[in-house]
Structures are given as C-alpha cells and as structure tokens.
Amino acid sequence: MERIKKIPLFIIAAVLIGLKTYIVYRFYFNLSIESAFQEIILFINAFAFSFFVFAIGVWFKERRQKKFIYITTIVMTFILIANLMYYRNFTDFITLPTLMQVNNVGDLGGSMISLIHIEDLFLILDVALIFYLARKEAFPVKTFSKLFKRRIVTVSLSVVILNLVLAEIERPMLFKRGFDREYLVKNVGIFTFHGYDAFITASMQSKRLFADGSEFNEIEEYVKETVEDSKDANQKIDIENVAEGKNIVYIAAESVQQFVINREVYGEEITPFLNDLIEDSYYFDNFYHQTALGKTSDHEFLLDNSLYPLPNSAAFFTHAQNEYYGLPEIINNKRDYKSYVFHANNASFWNRNVMYETLGYEEYFDIESYEFTKEDEIGWGLNDKIFFDQSVDILKELDDPYYAKFITLTNHFPFDIPESEANLPLYESDSVTLNQYFQTVRYTDEALEEFFATMKEEGLYEDTIFIIGGDHYGVPSYHNEELGEYLGEEITPYEDAKLQRVPFIIHIPGHDDSRTISTLTGQIDYKPTILKMLGIELDEDIRFGSNLFDQPEDRKDFIAFRDGRVIGNDYVYAAGMCYDNESGEAVEEVNCDPIREAATKELNYSDEMIYGDLLRFYDFDRGEVIESAEGE
C-alpha cells in the first residue's frame, strides 16, 4: 500500500483518463473491432496519448503541476463527451471546421437533450476522483529530477511511437485515408485524430492561396474522358426536354431513408402516400445519399453543383464565397428560370443566406416568410403541413417558369412529435430514436399528400414536375441493433452501406410512363438530370454526375461516399472489407480495388476544385481555363 501511495498523481490521472477513454471507445462508440490485434491497438492508443500529455506536467513545479493536471483532466473529458454527443447524432467524430459551425448549436434544442444518457455520469467520476486525490494529497505532486523527467518523456514517447507503428501495420498508409475517421480513431485515438485534423485543415486552407489554375487541366481532362462521355449515351428512357416550360418543384424529404418505403409498423403503412405516388412516377430504388458532415447542406451542394461534399467540413460554411456554376445560375441563363428556396428555418442556419446567393437563387423564403405560433411547431420548428400550406400561397405569386426547392423539417432528429399529431402506432424497441422516427416519417408523408392536393386545388399541379428525394440517413448506425431487429436481419457493414439508399421520385403529371429504375445512382447525378430534362447541353460544364436515365452500361460503375465506402455494381467496399453486392458475403479485398481507386481519384479532384476555388479560373462561356481569375 505504501508503494502505491508513492505513485505520482500525474500517473494516476493518466491511467484513469486512459481507462475512461478505452471504455468510451469500447462501450459508448459503436466501433467495429474485427480482431484481437485491433483490440490491442485500441487499448494501447487509449493510454498512449493520455500518458504522453500528463507526462508533460513533470516539467512544472508543484503548484503549476497540480493546475496542469486539473486543466488536462477537464479538457480531455470535455473532448470525449463532446465527441460522444456528436457521434450519437451523426455516427462520426468532430472535426475542426465543424467547430466553425457552432452557431448551429443554438438550434439543436431537444436534440442535445436526447443525446445525453444516464450512463454518461460515469464519464465524470474520474474527474471528481482526481480532484479529490489532489486535494487530499493522497498521491505526490512534487518537483522531479532531470533524470526522471527525461526517462518519463522517453517512455511516453515510446508508447506513442509503438501505437503508430502498430497502427501502420494494421492499416498501411493510415494517414492517407483521413476520410475514414473511424479508422483513425480506432488506430491512433480520438486525441491524435484531432491533432491530425488540425494539420489537415491548415494545409487545406492554404490551397486556395497557392492555386493558379494549372491544376484544372488534369481535372478537366478527367471529366471529359470519364463523365462527359455519357452525354451522348443512349438513354434508358428519353426524358430530354420533358420539363421545358414547366415549373420544377424539388422536395428534400428530411431524413427519409428508403427502408421505410412499402413497409409497415404493426400492420399500418409508414408512407402510404409515397407508396401510391411511386406507382405513377419514375422511382429510383438504388439511389444513394452521398452527404458528409454538412448533412442537408451537403445534399444541396451535391444537387446544385454535381461536386462532392468536403471530407472534414461543410462547403456551405467554409467555401460559400467560391466561384461555382450551380444549377440555379445555369437554368436562369439558359432557360430564364428563376430559382427559389423554401425552408422554415433561420436564414443563417448552415450559412444558407450566403451560399444561396453564391449559387444563383433568386430568393430564400426562410422562417420570416411564415406566420405561426409555438403550437404550430413540431421538433425543430414549423410543422410540415403548415409549411407546405403557406408555401403554396407564395408559389401562386411567382412568375412561370420557376425552380422551387422545399426543405422539410418535421422528420428531423430526434424525431419528437406530440402524441396528438402521431397517426402511426409507436414502435416498441430499445431505441427511442427509431421508435419516434416512424411516426415523424408518417407525418411528413401526410404533409406531402396535403401539398399535392392543394397544388391541384390551386391549379398548379398540371404544369409542375415534382421531384422528391431523401436528403440523408435518418437513423444513425448507432441504432443498428434495433433497426436490424425491425428489418429482421443483422446489419453488417455491407447492410449498413446499403441502408444509405434514400427514396428518389420524379413525378410528371400527364406523363404516360412510370416505372421503377434500379440503376446505381446518387445525388451527384441530380444536376445533369435536370439539365437533360430541360434540354440544356453544356460543353463547358464541370461536374462528376451523369443523367439518371442513362443506360447502366453508359454510366460510371460506382457511387462514392466521403467516409471511404464505395458502392459498385458488383462489389461494395465498407469498413475495410469487400463484399459481393449480390450475396453480401465478404470476398477478397482486391475485388474492390478498381472502384476504390476510381472513387478516391474523383473525390480528390472534387476537393481540389473546392479547396483551390478552381472554377474562378474557368471561362464558362468559352469552356476553357483562363490564365488568372478576375481580381487575383
């Protein structure tokens, strides 16, 4: 016992924080551990950084050393808890650029409360214990000899290096796979990940400064050879010019995933209206959301630009002042369409008021455009039924033709809905999120039905093309166990990747064709599809998507995600493994190499365009790179 009392306090603190970190990794985060070697690495990295940081304290004198231990304990605990809250919502980890979006936190409200669990109290017990031990002077805080300082630093650095070596053995070129944040956290730890993220963020911010337009040549060549070849492809269905002169309404169905389509809860359909609408529409049942940290704003970025979202931030925030050639600008220039956005949220949320102007939207009808009381709110704000009803009044005053984008709100995490508004039985599982999700999806489905009915009553239906698309996943992977019980199957990494499908419906009143199309598609393909429907051909466009209606053999054979996953026609790459896309069985990883390499190249090209703001060096009228941008 006397020997234990001689252990310095900084070591006790390092052990307690390291142990807590490991417990959070293992039992709070939903990290996939596939081997004993991965378990060993996870255990080591939990303690490596903790030991290294607290070892710095030995260089301080007694009073400052105790203060250092206090501050370090609080900061490391805060980082862990903040990442846990974020992970429960987004199944991801905080990056430095997301901290720039802190003004969004004020709108989270009930979302934050729902992310706190009773077992989280455990995460502050060690903090209380460390403070208690320091006050009682149960373990020594003293000035150490130079020899001890050198030895402790050497040992702590050795443990960090051991962690990095083992991580490199487990996952070669790990830091070149920064898009896969789970792999970084599993192998080098949450704190080292944040250090790496800060370095990457700084280097990315410098790209625009040093860009001169020469980087564009290689990208332009790739786009022309790989993407634009499909311009002259045979369309599976001829939809060219089908939208000419018609109004186009796009509805972002907040958090609606495809698995709810044609499914029931206790014998009642979840989406009865959408199920019926699909029978009279073009329905893409193999359509994937491709969003990242920016969620709904990423989905808008993908749709308007046919560029990929950024790997560690939201372009709507960090690159809203870039030069883009967005869909609203193009259809205004080529077909005199004015574009509008309807969303009953704060204008500044996700920096939309700035980004919409950049992309060429005529007007943004935000929360100030709607009249409602607190009783009209569900979850994050104005309920979808009143939102659509008041929006139709605005639509009636717009000049034809127009492009209008609606962003719904009720089916937003944490899916709160008053019992009086819920018209679907509450599902019973251990996941409150999943249970409530079905009810809010049903509410949005009802709101859509009422919207269509009102459009018909007001005489706006026949001359409008309606497009409905899920913007991103609704149920985070954190709830896969309960979701798997509902679906009647175990959700493997393969199944989780397939769950990223969202409904995508194109409804054309009076059109004499409707069918389900199973071509591998994604949000990157939206912009070229709308342009094709309007009969707009652009030799000068730079984009990474293709027309949704092209024959499968004339399209790229992969859908890329920002987290490293890739969906191919034949194979799926997820969680570091390759799966056969038909059977879902794991196969040799080499089978996925072609789609992984192609996806990585395309994602990198898109990043270069955004980070370097390369479109400022492009003359869209002439379709060529110019030597310098105006004002440079």
Among all chains, which residue has been given the structure tokens 């269905």? 237
pLDDT at 602 over 60: yes
User: What gap in Å lies between CA 268 and CA 275, rounded to an integer?
Assistant: 12
Q: What's residue 7's pLDDT?
A: 78
Q: What's residue 210's pLDDT?
A: 78
Q: Give the tokens for residue 182.
A: 């789970």
pLDDT at 631 over 50: no
Angle among Cα 493, 226, 582 to the nearest 5 degrees reads 30
For residues 155-163, give the mean pLDDT: 92
In three-state secondary structure terms, 213 is coil
Cβ pair 315, 291 in contact under 8 A:
no
Q: What's residue 237's pLDDT?
A: 81
Strand runs labelled E in 308-370: 338-342, 363-365
User: What gap in Å lies between CA 278 and CA 262, rounded to an integer?
Assistant: 10
Q: What's residue 630's pLDDT?
A: 43
Please state the domain extents for the chain.
2-205, 210-252+279-418+443-476+499-625
Q: What's residue 232's pLDDT?
A: 57
Strands 268-269 and 363-365, by their bridges, are unpaired
User: What gap in Å lies between CA 156 and CA 54, rounded to an integer?
Assistant: 9
Q: What kind and span of H or E run contains 553?
A: none
Q: What kind and span of H or E run contains 468?
A: strand 464-470
pLDDT at 249 over 70: yes
Q: What is the pLDDT of residues 1-41, one digit of tens each?
A: 455 556 788 888 999 999 999 999 999 998 878 789 989 99
- Indicate the burial class of 167 (C-beta count within 10 angstroms; 0-12, 13-18, 19 or more): buried
Q: What's residue 563's pLDDT?
A: 92
Q: What is the pLDDT of residues 387-405, one digit of tens each?
A: 999 999 999 999 999 999 9
Q: Give the tokens for residue 119.
A: 């077992």
Higher-confidence residue of 338 and 353: namely 338
| Confidence class for position 515, pLDDT limits 50, 70, 90 | very high
Q: What's residue 277's pLDDT?
A: 98
Q: What is the pLDDT of residues 425-481, one digit of tens each?
A: 999 999 999 999 999 999 999 999 999 999 999 999 999 999 999 999 999 998 999
For residues 253-275, give the mean pLDDT: 98
Strand runs labelled E in 254-379: 264-265, 268-269, 282-284, 287-288, 338-342, 363-365, 377-378
Listed in sequence order, the residues at least 6 apart from 250 whose beta carbon sits closer than 8 Å to its beta carbon are 303, 403, 404, 405, 406, 467, 468, 469
Q: What kind and span of H or E run contains 571?
A: strand 571-574
User: What gap in Å lies between CA 78 and CA 84, rounded to an integer?
Assistant: 10
Q: What's residue 177's pLDDT?
A: 57
Q: What is the pLDDT of residues 210-223, one digit of tens each?
A: 788 888 889 988 98
Q: What is the pLDDT of residues 269-281, one digit of tens each?
A: 999 999 999 999 9
User: What gap in Å lies between CA 561 and CA 522, rounded to an integer?
Assistant: 10
| Confidence class for position 103, pLDDT limits 50, 70, 90 | low
Catalytic residue chosen out of the listed positions 296, 433, 519, 521: 296
User: What gap in Å lies between CA 161 and CA 270, rounded to an integer?
Assistant: 52
- Asked if 296 is an active-site residue, the reply is yes
Q: Give the tokens for residue 75.
A: 């900061």
Give 95-160 as a 3 state SS string.
CHHHHCCHHHHHHCCHHHHHCCCHHHHHHHHHHHHHHHHHHHCCCCCCCCCHHHHHHHHHHHHHHH
User: What gap in Å lies between CA 549 and CA 541, rounded to an integer?
Assistant: 19
For residues 274-291, give the mean pLDDT: 98
- Indicate the burial class of 398 (C-beta count within 10 angstroms; 0-12, 13-18, 19 or more): middle
| Confidence class for position 495, pLDDT limits 50, 70, 90 | very high
Closest alpha carbon to 287 in 601, 460, 526: 526
Q: What's residue 100's pLDDT?
A: 59
User: What gap in Å lies between CA 18 and CA 21, rounded to an integer?
Assistant: 5
The single-letter code of the amino acid at 256 is V
For residues 500-524, give the mean pLDDT: 96
Cβ pair 242, 507 in contact under 8 A:
no
pTM, whole model, 2 decimals? Answer: 0.78
Higher-confidence residue of 110 and 544: namely 544
Q: What's residue 6's pLDDT?
A: 66
Query: Taking the CA atoms of the chain, what radius of gyration do you get in angstroms?
Result: 26
The single-letter code of the amino acid at 540 is E
Cβ pair 455, 476 in contact under 8 A:
no
| Confidence class for position 347, pLDDT limits 50, 70, 90 | confident
Tell me the pLDDT of the chain averaged across its residues. 89
Q: What's residue 107's pLDDT?
A: 46
User: What gap in Å lies between CA 617 and CA 624, rounded to an integer?
Assistant: 9
Q: What's residue 396's pLDDT?
A: 96
Among all chains, which residue has been given the structure tokens 């192609």? 598
Distances (CA, A) of 7 to 57, 140, 320: 14, 7, 53
The single-letter code of the amino acid at 385 is K
pLDDT at 632 over 50: no
- Indicate the burial class of 585 (C-beta count within 10 angstroms; 0-12, 13-18, 19 or more): exposed
For residues 90-106, give the mean pLDDT: 66
Q: What's residue 430's pLDDT?
A: 95
Q: Which CATH architecture fits 210-252+279-418+443-476+499-625?
A: 3-Layer(aba) Sandwich (3.40)
| Confidence class for position 622, pLDDT limits 50, 70, 90 | confident
Higher-confidence residue of 481 and 137: namely 481
Q: Give the tokens for residue 1.
A: 């016992």
Cβ pair 159, 15 in contact under 8 A:
no
pLDDT at 67 over 70: yes
Q: What's residue 529's pLDDT?
A: 96
Listed in sequence order, the residues at least 6 apart from 121 whose beta carbon sits closer than 8 Å to its beta carbon are none
Q: What's residue 183's pLDDT?
A: 80
Listed in sequence order, the residues at least 6 apart from 285 whose beta carbon sits closer than 8 Å to its beta carbon are 258, 261, 501, 503, 516, 517, 518
Q: What kind and span of H or E run contains 205?
A: helix 190-205
Closest alpha carbon to 52 in 174, 157, 183: 157
The single-letter code of the amino acid at 205 is Q
The single-letter code of the amino acid at 301 is F
